[in-house]
């Protein structure tokens, strides 16, 4: 290589460094473990660099090796993991919990999960879904150069614990239609999959977990999964979904007489019983080269009100729809309905529904707070005002993904 080429390379890399100060993180912490392990093609590290308190423990019959160890906190009202992240960058944080009777007391506890000092969720490990592990996921812009995830004791003798914590950098341009003081709390992320396996890293470089949209059933209420004829799908939409979600689509199978009436209804049961602001995305790609007399056109409806213009999935590339200005609950119907001029039923490749949090309060308080401190944080922002047990941000992503996946239904 000539000197000039080297100089150019140097100049280019300097420029690159100076315009991208954000250093990407992809950190997977296996709480309570010793050493590293590889699972789901991800390198997991133990938690010694991230926390000084708590006791390592082992869970019985874990659904995965990572969930087989945990860190329990017999002392302190609040115990925190802190991770260095560039201030102003956007990250995805996932915290997972699997009790596995680690203390041989057969008494799964309930405790609180906090994000940068704000109430995130109440983790009830005796909930039915907790049998497979509970996972909570948040997407947000970090305010300082560190982010903290804490568990806090709220009930006598119910000790908090945590099995894993994951932090992944996203692009700032992703999920951007919400102001930067608010957090997106995942309710549902589902994709049409040919087999019953979730799509995640390495297919999704951001390691979002896309659950099988039809669960263990290939045919469910008139819905089917059809493979895409296109050899590849060019993905140039703002939230950068993995190309893998376009290899298959959820399609409808029951033709109706007369005007097309078949629709795809998205599952919203992971939302709270009470209305809250939501952020929804949906992704589409046509699965076959359509004839000149064919047209697939449909609209997204929220409770019978159209919220999109006609969506015509492109063949060989991707389209995205998002909705960030609506409130919804677990009773809200999200439905894809054909337009009057469509000759084909709707299809859908994937969708996500998040709840939008209240603005984050205060900075990062990584200290083990007093009880009174903690009560204050809790009062500052309650993300979900419905009663206990009515708002479960559970994701069955921790085993092989075969359980209780969202189930779009034909209406």
Ligand X SMILES: *[C@@H]1O[C@H](CO)[C@@H](O)[C@H](O)[C@H]1NC(C)=O
The pair of three-digit structure tokens given for residue 171, joined into one six-digit string: 């692009």
The span from the CA of 120 to the CA of 392, in Å, is: 12
**Segment near ligand X (CB under 6 A); pick from 208-216, 222-230, 256-264, 356-364:** 222-230
CB 90, CB 169: distance < 8 Å: yes
| Residues 158-217, interacting with ligand X (CB under 6 A) | none
**Segment near ligand X (CB under 6 A); pick from 66-74, 184-192, 223-231, 371-379:** 223-231
The span from the CA of 58 to the CA of 60, in Å, is: 7
Residue 64's SS3 state is coil
Q: Closest separation between CB of residue 409 and ligand X, Å?
A: 8
Q: Is 17 in the site for ligand X (CB under 6 A)?
A: no
| Residues 125-144, interacting with ligand X (CB under 6 A) | 126-127, 144
The span from the CA of 216 to the CA of 204, in Å, is: 22
Q: What's phi and psi for 282, nearest 5 deg?
A: -145, 145
Beta bridge partners of 166: 28, 94
DSSP class of residue 231 equals S
Site for ligand X (CB under 6 A): which residue of 43, 107, 145, 294? 145
Q: Is 370 in the site for ligand X (CB under 6 A)?
A: no
Closest CA to 333 of 350, 349, 353, 312: 353
Residues 6+ apart with CB under 8 A from 128: none
The pair of three-digit structure tokens given for residue 10, joined into one six-digit string: 């140097």
Q: What is the largest CA-CA distance in the chain?
A: 73
The span from the CA of 77 to the CA of 80, in Å, is: 10
Tell me whether residue 53 or residue 407 sits nearer to ligand X (CB atom): 407
**Segment near ligand X (CB under 6 A); pick from 10-18, 40-48, 122-130, 367-375:** 122-130
**Segment near ligand X (CB under 6 A); pick from 178-186, 224-232, 311-319, 376-384:** 224-232
| Residues 36-65, interacting with ligand X (CB under 6 A) | 63-64
Q: Is 224 in the site for ligand X (CB under 6 A)?
A: yes
DSSP letter for each residue of 131-199: GG-EEEEEEEE-SSSEEEEEEE--STT---EESEEEEEEE-TTTT-SS-TT--EEEEEEEE--SSS--B
Q: Is 388 in the site for ligand X (CB under 6 A)?
A: yes
Q: Is 258 in the site for ligand X (CB under 6 A)?
A: no
The span from the CA of 7 to the CA of 39, in Å, is: 41
Q: Which residue is nearest to ligand X (CB)?
A: 87
Distance of alpha carbon 194 from its chain centroid, rounded? 20
Closest CA to 245 of 209, 278, 297, 292: 209
Site for ligand X (CB under 6 A): which residue of 28, 118, 124, 169? 124
Residue 396's SS3 state is coil
- Interaction pattern, residues 64-103, with ligand X; x per rule: CB under 6 A: x----------------------x----------------
Q: Is 227 in the site for ligand X (CB under 6 A)?
A: yes
Q: Closest separation between CB of residue 379 and ligand X, Å?
A: 18
| Residues 289-318, interacting with ligand X (CB under 6 A) | 303-304
Q: Is 222 in the site for ligand X (CB under 6 A)?
A: no
Tell me whether residue 269 or residue 331 sits nearer to ligand X (CB atom): 331
Q: Closest separation between CB of residue 5 and ligand X, Å?
A: 32
The span from the CA of 152 to the CA of 101, in Å, is: 19
**Segment near ligand X (CB under 6 A); pick from 112-120, 131-139, 183-191, 219-227:** 219-227
Q: Is 253 in the site for ligand X (CB under 6 A)?
A: yes
What are the angstrom distances between the C-alpha of 264 and each of 220, 320, 382? 11, 16, 32
Q: Closest separation between CB of residue 65 and ligand X, Å?
A: 9
Tell me whether residue 81 or residue 111 sits nearer to ligand X (CB atom): 111
**Segment near ligand X (CB under 6 A); pick from 25-33, 68-76, 97-105, 119-127:** 119-127
Q: Closest separation between CB of residue 325 and ligand X, Å?
A: 4
Tell me whether residue 53 or residue 273 sits nearer to ligand X (CB atom): 273
Q: Closest separation between CB of residue 1 and ligand X, Å?
A: 33
Residues 6+ apart with CB under 8 A from 399: 63, 64, 132, 133
Q: Is 226 in the site for ligand X (CB under 6 A)?
A: yes
Binding site for ligand X (CB under 6 A): 63-64, 87, 110, 124, 126-127, 144-145, 224, 226-227, 253, 303-304, 325, 331, 333, 388-389, 399-400, 411
């Amino acid at each position: 290589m000539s000197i000039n080429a080297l100089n150019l390379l140097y100049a280019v890399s300097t420029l690159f460094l100076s315009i991208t100060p954000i250093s990407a993180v992809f950190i997977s912490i296996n709480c309570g473990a010793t050493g590293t392990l590889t699972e789901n093609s991800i390198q997991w590290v133990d938690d010694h660099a991230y926390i000084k308190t708590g006791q390592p423990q082992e869970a019985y019959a874990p659904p995965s090796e990572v969930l087989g160890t945990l860190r329990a906190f017999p002392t302190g009202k609040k115990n925190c993991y802190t991770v260095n992240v560039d201030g102003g960058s956007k990250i995805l944080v996932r915290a997972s919990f699997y009790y596995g009777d680690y203390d041989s007391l057969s008494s799964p506890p309930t405790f609180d999960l906090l994000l940068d000092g704000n109430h995130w969720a109440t983790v009830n490990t005796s909930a039915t879904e907790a049998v497979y592990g509970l996972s909570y996921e948040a997407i947000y812009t970090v305010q300082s150069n560190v982010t903290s995830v804490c568990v806090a004791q709220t009930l006598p003798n119910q000790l908090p614990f945590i099995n894993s914590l994951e932090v992944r950098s996203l692009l700032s341009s992703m999920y951007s239609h919400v102001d930067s003081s608010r957090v997106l709390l995942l309710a549902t992320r589902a994709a049409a999959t040919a087999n019953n396996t979730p799509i995640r890293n390495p297919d999704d470089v951001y390691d979002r977990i896309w659950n099988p949209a039809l669960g263990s059933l290939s045919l469910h209420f008139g819905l089917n999964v059809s493979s895409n004829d296109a050899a590849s799908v060019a993905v140039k939409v703002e939230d950068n979904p993995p190309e893998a979600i376009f290899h298959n689509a959820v399609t409808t199978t029951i033709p109706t007489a007369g005007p097309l009436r078949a629709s795809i209804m998205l599952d919203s049961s992971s939302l709270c019983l009470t209305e809250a602001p939501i952020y929804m995305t949906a992704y589409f790609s046509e699965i076959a080269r359509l004839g000149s007399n064919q047209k697939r056109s449909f609209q997204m409806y929220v409770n019978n009100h159209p919220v999109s213009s006609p969506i015509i999935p492109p063949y060989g590339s991707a389209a995205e729809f998002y909705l960030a200005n609506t409130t919804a609950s677990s009773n809200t119907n999200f439905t894809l309905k054909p337009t009057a001029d469509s000759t084909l039923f709707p299809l859908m490749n994937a969708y996500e529904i998040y709840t939008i949090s209240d603005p984050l309060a205060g900075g990062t308080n990584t200290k083990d707070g007093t009880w009174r401190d903690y009560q204050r944080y809790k009062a500052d922002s309650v993300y979900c005002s419905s009663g206990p047990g009515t708002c479960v941000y559970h994701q069955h992503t921790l085993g092989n993904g075969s359980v209780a996946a969202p189930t779009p239904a034909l209406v």
